[in-house]
Structure 1
Amino acid sequence: MKKKVLIPAFASAALLVLAGCSSDGQSGDGLFIDVPDIPMAEELGEPEGQLDIVAWSGFVEPAWADQFTEDTGCVVNRRVAGTSDEMVTLMRTGEYDLVSASGDASLRLIAAGDVAPINLDLIPNFGDDIVEGMKGQIYDTINGQSYGVPIGRGANILQYNSDVVTETPESWSVVWETDSPYAGQITAYDAPIYIADAAVYLMYHEPELGITNPYALDQTQLDAAIDLLKQQNTIVAEYWADPVAQITSFLGGTTVVGTSWEVLRKFTEDTEKFQGVLPVEGSTGWSDAWMISSQSDSVNCAYLWMDYTSAADVNGQIAMNFGMAPANAAFCETSEEAAAHCEQFNATDEEYFDNVWYWTTPIEQCIDGRTDVQCTNFQQWTQAWLTVKG
C-alpha cells in the first residue's frame, strides 16, 4: 500500500447531523451539516513525484497526463472505475490521491472523512470562467467549504431509437407507465440512485406526495418511488450499469427507449437514428468533481493536477473526450469545434440545467429543509433497490 494512513474513517452518511440551514437545507454555500474535521492544505510545497488517481474512463489520458508530468515531474498513475460504488471502495483503501467523484459518491466520501476540504486559493485556474451552476452545490460544498473542483456535468436524458419511436417523446411516461407502446423494449439504469428518477417523475405527476427534492424522500415518498420502480420492472427489457452494455442493447434492438447519458449517443455511429431529449418532467443528472484523499501523501501533485485540469484547454479536452459539458466555460470560445461541443451539451445553458437534479447522496436529514420528518438514507435506498427486480 503506497499511501500511509493519516486520518481514520468517521461516521457514515447515515449519521450526518443537520446544522443550521436555510429553508431548503442549502444555500450558495452548499449544504449545512456536521462533518468530520479534516485539515485543509494551507500552502503548497515541492511536488512528490507521483500521483494516483481513480477516475471515470476518459478523464485521465496520455494526451494531457504526459504534458502534466513533463511540467511538474508528477507521474500519473490511473485506475479506471466503472461505478460510484467502486470509486468509494477504492478511495477507502488509502491508495489513491484523487477521485473524479459524482454526486452520488461525494457526500459518502465527505461524511466518512475519506476526502479533505479543498483550498481553492491554491487553484488559480478555478476562477470566474467556471460555470456558476457547478459552484457551491450541495453534493460537494459543505458548510461553505468546497470539497470538490468541478470537471464537467451532464443530464440523464431519455434516449430513443427514432426508427421505432417515431414521435419525439415529451414525457418520461413512455418508460414508466405499463401502457407504454414500448413495453418490453425499455432500458433503465441499474443503481440505487435511479430511485431519484422515479421521484422526479412523481414530483411532476403526483404532487400530493410532497416531493420537492428527489434525493430527500421520507419513508412514504420512498415507498411510492419503489412502487413505481416495481411497476416499471414489468416492462423493462434490460437494466444497465455498464455503458457498453447499454449501447449494445440499443444497437441490437433489444431496447428502443430509456435512460441514457448524452455521451453514449456518439458511440452508436448513427446519431441521427438514436436521439435524446430532456422530457417535460426534468431529469436527474451528474456533476463530477476532483476530490482529494484525506490520506494522500501527494497533496502537492494533487493540487497541481486539479489546477492543470481546470484550465480551459485541458478541461475542454476532458469534456470532449468523455462527452459532457465542461466546467470551464472559456473553453467554448477557443474554436468552432469547442463551440459546437458546448452547444451540444448545453455547457453554459443554466436554464437547461435548472431542470436537472444532480446526483446527491441521500441522507437522514432532509436536504429539502424539512425538520418534522426523517428522510431515508443511502443504505435504505440500497436495500429498497434490491426489492425492485425481485
Structure 2
Amino acid sequence: MRSGRILLAALAAGVLTLAGCGDDGGDPAGSGPGGLTVPKIDELAALGAGEGVVNVVSWAGYVEDGSTDKSVDWVTGFEKETGCQVNNKIAGTSDEMVALMKTGEYDVVSASGDASLRLIYGGDVAPVNTDLLSNYQDVFEGLKNKAWNSVDGVPYGAPHGRGANLLMYRTDTVTPAPTSWSAVFDPASPHKGKITAYDSPIYIADAALYLMKTKPELNIENPYALDDTQFQAAVDLLKQQNELIGEYWSDYTKEVQAFKAGNSVLGTTWQVITNLTKADGAPVEAILPAEGATGWSDTWMVSAKAQHPHCAYLWMNHIISPKANAGVAEWFGEAPANRLSCAETKDPNHCATFHAEDEAYFAQVWYWTTPLARCVDGRTDVTCKDYAAWTQAWTTIKG
C-alpha cells in the first residue's frame, strides 16, 4: 500500500492520469481511408546488440529506476545488463501517447487499448516478432493476439498487465448490495447526485455492454463495435445517466476522496482504488457485476520509426519478464501479464487480489479496444462509429 500512496502523491501533483484516461480528442483510429487498411511495416527479423539507448513513453509507475523509491527499480539492472540507457517520458493520456509516438522520437510505448489501434492503423508502430521475446511464451494466453493488440492474427506488441472496471459502493449507504450495472443506470435511483462514472469517451462501451445484456434486440455483439442504432442507444442511456451523476472522475485520488467523504456512494472503479479507499477507512466494496465489465490491458509497442529497435526489443522482453512484471504490477496496482510473475510478488496474495490467474474472471471482461469505422466485431455490411464519433458524443453526453 506504500507504493500506492506514492503514486497517489504523483497523481495529486498532476503527474498521472492512469491508463486511457479522459482522452479529449486526437486523431481517431484508422483516420485514413475509412480506417480499413493497416500500413505495411516489416517486423524486426533478428535481434542484435543494443544501440546504447532506448527512448520510452509510458504511464507513470511503469518505468521505475529507484528515484521514486530506492526499493523500486527495474531499470538500473536492465541498463547494466544490456548497455541500453533508458530515457523515459511520462504521458498523462492516451492522446498524448499517440501524439508523442507520431513524432518518431520514441522507440517504445506502453499503449492502452484505446490508443493501440490508433497507433497500428496510423502506421506509427510496427508488428512485433514475438520469437525475439523469450518471455513472451509465459504471457497469459488470454492477452495474446487480441483485438486491441493485433490485426488479422499479426501481433503488434507485448502484453503488460490488466484490470477490470468494477462497480464500487459504500456498504453503509447502498443497500441491498448491488449485483448489476443497473444500479448506476436506473433513473429512479435513490442515490441521484452521488453516482460517479469514468470520464472518457471509452466509457460509452460501459453503456453498450449493459445494453448488450439487457436489450438483446439491439444485437450488440461487442461494446466497441456500434453501428448508428446501437451507438445512439448507448448515447441516450448515458445522457439519461448524466442526470444521476454527481461527478465524473479520471484522477483516482478524487474518487478515493469522494467515497471517503460520502459525496460518491456508487460508481465505476478499479481494484487498486478500492484497496486504497478501504485502507483509508471508508466502508466500500467492489464487485464484477452480473453483466460483466469493461477493462484494460496495456501493451508494449515498438515504433515503426524506432531509432533503437534492438534496445526496444530488449526492453520489451525485460519488462514482461517474471520479476520486472511482478514489480510493476505491485507498484502500479494491476494483474501481471506474465504467469510466472505471481511467484515473484512481495505480497503473496497480490495475484489473488487482482485475479491474475483467474481466466474465468477475465472472460467476463471486455478490454478497451479503439472503436474503428471497420467494425471490430467482424461485421462488413455496416460502418461502425469510430473513436472520433465517440469523442464528439462524449462532449454532448456530459453537456
Q: TM-score, normalised by structure 1?
A: 0.89
Bigger drift between 66-75 and 245-254 goes to 245-254
User: Given the superposition, is the C-alpha separation of residues 217 and 14 from structure 1 closer, same or farther in structure 2, using an over 3 Å criterion?
Assistant: farther
1:142 and 2:151 matched: yes
CA–CA separation in structure 1 for the residues paired with 2:381 and 2:320: 41
**Residue 123 (structure 1) shift:** 0.7
Per-residue Cα deviation, 1:131-169 (whole angstroms, up to 9, x for no partner): 110011011111221101011111000111222224321
Distance 1:169 1:66, change over 3 A: same
2:64 pairs with 61, 66, 84, which one? 61
SS at match of 1:379: helix
**Pairwise CA distance, 1:360:** 0.5
| Contact 2:326/2:344 (8 A) holds in 1 | no
1:211 aligns with 2:220: yes
- Aligned counterparts of 2:304 and 2:136: Cα–Cα separation in 1: 21
Q: CA deviation at 1:208?
A: 0.8
Asked if structure 2 preserves the Cα contact closer than 8 Å seen for 1:82 and 1:242, the reply is no
Moved over 6 A (4+): none
Q: Specify which of 48, 51, 64 is matched with residue 54 of structure 2.
A: 51
Find the counterpart in structure 2 of residue 116 from structure 1. Answer: 126
- Looking at structure 1, the residues matched to 296 and 49 of structure 2 have their Cα atoms a distance apart, in angstroms, of 34
Residues 172-321 of structure 1 mapped to structure 2, 5 A cutoff: 172-268=181-277, 269-270=279-280, 273-321=283-331
Q: CA deviation at 1:16?
A: 6.2
Note closer, same or farther for the CA distance 1:171–1:82 as it changes in structure 2 (3 Å cut): same
Q: 1:376 aligns with which of 385, 388, 396?
A: 385
Residue in structure 1 matched with residue 6 of structure 2 by the alignment: none
Render the CA deviation track for 1:189-234: whole Å, top value 9, x for unaligned.
Answer: 1111110000001111111111110011001111110000000100
From 35, 40, 46, give the equivalent of 2:38. 35
Secondary structure at the counterpart of residue 222 of structure 2: coil
What pairs with 1:355-366 in structure 2 (closer than 5 Å)?
Answer: 355-366=364-375
State percent identity of aligned pairs.
Answer: 52
Letter in 1 for 2:363: D
Residue of structure 1 equivalent to 2:141? 132
Specify which of 26, 30, 42 is matched with residue 13 of structure 1: 30
Distance in 1, Cα, partners of 2:29 & 2:188? 41
Q: Per the alignment, do residues 272 and 166 of structure 1 end up closer, same or farther by CA in structure 2, a change over 3 Å counting?
A: farther
In 1, are the aligned partners of 2:29 and 2:117 still within 8 Å (CA)?
no
Cα distance, 1:259 vs structure 2: 0.7
C-alpha separation between the residues in 2 aligned to 1:94 and 1:122?
22
Partner Cα distance (2:140, 2:28) in 1 = 32
Offset at residue 15 of structure 1 (A): 4.1
Local SS of the residue matching 1:54: strand
Alignment RMSD (CA, Å): 1.8
Q: Does structure 2 retain, via aligned residues, the 8 Å contact 1:175–1:257?
A: yes
Give the corresponding residue for 1:3: none
Would the aligned equivalents of 1:140 and 1:147 in 2 still touch at CA under 8 Å?
yes
Counterpart CA distance in 1 for 2:261 and 2:28 is: 45
What is the alpha-carbon distance in structure 2 between the residues aligned to residue 189 and residue 104 of structure 1? 14
3-state SS of 2:398 partner:
coil
Corresponding letter in the other structure for 2:30 = A
Residues 335, 233 of structure 1: CA spacing in aligned structure 2 closer, same or farther, 3 A cutoff? Answer: closer
Q: Can you list the C-alpha shifts for 1:316-341, whole angstroms capped at 9, x where unaligned?
A: 11111111111111122346834x11
* CA distance, structure 2, for counterparts of residue 189 and residue 350 of structure 1: 25
Letter in 2 for 1:96: Y
User: What per-residue deviation string (whole Å, max 9, x for no partner) do you get for residues 339-375 of structure 1?
Assistant: x111111111111111110101111122222222211
Residues 134 and 317 in structure 2, CA contact (< 8 A), matched pair in contact too:
yes
For the 8 Å contact 2:193–2:244, the answer to whether it is kept is yes
2:107 is aligned with 1:85: no
Q: Is the 8 A contact 1:57 1:80 kept in 2?
A: yes
Q: Which residue of 2 aligns with 1:103?
A: 113
SS state at 1:385 partner = helix
Change (3 A) 1:272 1:347: farther
- Alpha-carbon distance in 1 for matches of 2:374, 2:252: 32
CA contact (8 A) 1:13 1:378 kept: no
Q: Which residue number corresponds to residue 362 of structure 2?
A: 353
Report if aligned partners of 1:16, 1:364 keep a CA contact under 8 Å in 2: no
Deviation of 1:253 after TM superposition, in Å, equals: 2.2
Deviation at 1:92, TM superposition (A): 1.5
TM-superposed CA distance for 1:247, in Å, is 2.1
Preserved contact between residue 361 and residue 378 of structure 1 (Cα < 8 Å): yes
> For residue 111 of structure 2, what is the amino acid of its counterpart?
A
CA change 1:246–1:93 in 2 (3 A) is: farther
Unpaired runs of 5+ residues, structure 2, are: 1-26, 66-72
Give the secondary-structure state (helix, strand or coil) at the position aligned to 1:387: helix
In 1, Cα distance between the equivalents of 2:260 and 2:56? 32
